[in-house]
Amino acid sequence: MRFDGKTALITGASRGIGRGIAVEFARRGANLALVGRDRSSLDETVAACVSARADVKAAVFVADVTDAGAVDGFVAQTLAEFGRIDIAVAGAGQSIDGLLLRLKPETIDQLLDVNLKSAFYLCAAVAKPMMKQRAGSIVLVSSIVGLTGNAGQSVYAATKAALLGLAKSLAKELGSRNIRVNAVAPGLIDTAMTEGIPQAAREFMLKQISLGRPGTPQDVSGVVAFLCSDAASYVTGQTLVVDGGLVM
């Protein structure tokens, strides 16, 4: 699963699963376009990518992925820098937990913007050059709760479930141009986003995980690399669950 000469654009690349995906593609030979909100964190991602492959070429974009114009901008800049976009990973995401009756409208809007609308904007922007190339792979980072739901995460779960419908619909729209669209649904992954899970809840989840441990960003990044590789050239419109056997 090599990506030499190919370009991978990754949103949410400044930490966690997004950073893990960036390092994975760097290690496998890809050029990188890394998008996030914080420059210093993105620089840390670049350093991690350089550690994985010293000659990696990486362009960094500090941008608001909830702004369609900004998304169009960094996609255009990526094309100017590398000439093509072969892979796009919608990894930007945010979780704000709370019971539905206590959620403020602005919180709902924020999660819809970050988790869902940003993916629409990215897919629309990269689909154009991929259609001209007649090739490309898009992966949307969803969540296991998009399949199962979870009390206290109604909005987060709804946005992650919507990504699965988006992947299936775009797979049907873009398949004739040899563009594949898939999703991954991670379970309990050790990242900054999951640090705030109460200890009791974490222990309960661990007891349900068949493999008996939380996942790592690397557990997810390898699956994403597979979906974008020639090994998965006949896979589209699918959701691969990466949860250690939490839900079966």
Confidence (pLDDT) at 233: 98
Confidence (pLDDT) at 173: 98
- The total of other beta-carbon atoms located within 10 Å of residue 54's CB is 8
Nearest 5°: the CA angle 129, 134, 136 is 70
152 with 208: CB under 8 angstroms?
A: no
Q: In the structure encoding, which two tokens stand for residue 153, read together?
A: 């995460």
pLDDT in tens, the chain (248 residues): 899 999 999 999 999 999 999 999 999 999 999 999 999 999 999 999 999 999 999 999 999 999 999 999 999 999 999 999 999 999 999 999 999 999 999 999 999 999 999 999 999 999 999 999 999 999 999 999 999 999 999 999 999 999 999 999 999 999 999 999 999 999 999 987 777 777 887 888 899 999 999 999 999 999 999 999 999 999 999 999 999 999 98
What phi and psi, each to the nearest 5 degrees, are found at residue 175? -60, -35
Confidence (pLDDT) at 201: 78
Confidence (pLDDT) at 149: 95
DSSP β-ladder status, 58-62 and 87-90: unpaired
pTM of the model: 0.96
Confidence (pLDDT) at 203: 87
Q: Which of 12, 25, 156, 179 is catalytic?
A: 156
* Amino acid occupying residue 125: A
Confidence (pLDDT) at 228: 98
156 is catalytic: yes
Q: In the structure encoding, which two tokens stand for residue 32, read together?
A: 């990188």
Confidence (pLDDT) at 33: 98
198 three-state secondary structure: coil
Q: How far is 113 from 160, CA to CA, in rounded Å? A: 12
What phi and psi, each to the nearest 5 degrees, are found at residue 96? -125, 110
DSSP β-ladder status, 7-11 and 87-90: parallel
* Helices 154-174 and 118-133: angle between axes, nearest 10 degrees: 20
Confidence (pLDDT) at 181: 98
